[in-house]
Amino acid sequence: MDCNNWETTGLLYVAKELDKKQASLYQQHCTVCAFCAQEVAQYESDKNLYFSSSLLSVSTTAALDEKVLSLCTSVKPTSIGMLSSVWIKRIVFSALVFAFGAGAGGYFSFAYYHSKSAASVAAAKSPTTPQTTVLSATQNRQTQPGLDSSKSDGNTTSVLQKSVRTPLTGHSAPQGIITVDLKKE
């Protein structure tokens, strides 16, 4: 009766693909299993008689050898053009990862900057700021009638705030902030 160990272990044993421990276990098995012992002996005999590389090989012709050698030796395996496809894939993959990372980083930094500037604009538009400006503008109105300004550096630019009297309350309200070159003014 056939023993399954021949297929699962015996073939690996005769191919010398078992480690020492497994090989010695199979050898022990062969001492008690006639089928496996017979198969091992048969394989080794066949290997010597028929499965030798000389019997299974087929000789090439001199013309073929010359053709293959001249073709293959015309290129060097270490040249840059001979980069393996695996390395090419790795390089392309790395470049894509880098590009994606740079894109994502750029996007997030832009979004962060945009949200920050939006917050500052919102803060500038909030009710407290114009009132403060109006107050400071009202204080400055005495020195420059008709113009409400809060100077920043006195030379180049200043914030000019036009105040318009509202018809109902008669109070001045900020209409907008305009950057003005004082030298021109």
Partner 1 sequence: MNELSQEEDHVLFDIWIKGDTRGFSALYDRYKNRVFGFLVRMTNDREIAEDLLQDTFLAAMRNAQQFDRQRNFLSWIFGIAHKRTIDYFRHVKVENEHLDDTDRSLGKGPLLPDDMMSGKYLNSVLNDAVNSLEPMQREVFLLRELGDVPFKDIAHMMNCPINTALGRMRLALKNIRRELKKRGVHGLQ
Interface residues toward partner 1, by CB under 8 A: 6-8, 11-12, 15, 17, 41-43, 45-47, 49-51, 53, 55-60, 64-65, 67-69, 71-73, 75-78, 82-87
- Smallest distance, partner 1 to C-beta of residue 90, A: 12
DSSP assignments along 117-128, one per residue: HHHHHHHHHSTH
Q: Which of 45/94 has CB closer to partner 1?
A: 45
- Smallest distance, partner 1 to C-beta of residue 71, A: 6
Distances (CA, A) of 21 to 10, 27, 36, 43, 78: 14, 10, 18, 22, 41
- Smallest distance, partner 1 to C-beta of residue 34, A: 14
Q: Amino acid letter at 141? A: R
- Smallest distance, partner 1 to C-beta of residue 33, A: 15
The one-character DSSP state at 113 is: H
Q: Which of 79/128 has CB closer to partner 1?
A: 79
* CA gap 96, 129 in Å, rounded: 47
Q: What are phi and psi of 10, to 5 degrees?
A: -60, -45
Q: Which of 73/142 has CB closer to partner 1?
A: 73
- Smallest distance, partner 1 to C-beta of residue 97, A: 22
The answer for 146, left when phi > 0, alpha when psi is -120 to 50, beta otherwise, is left
Q: Which of 77/127 has CB closer to partner 1?
A: 77
Nearest to 5 by CA among 36, 39, 37, 42: 36
Q: Which of 41/111 has CB closer to partner 1?
A: 41
Q: Amino acid letter at 148? A: D
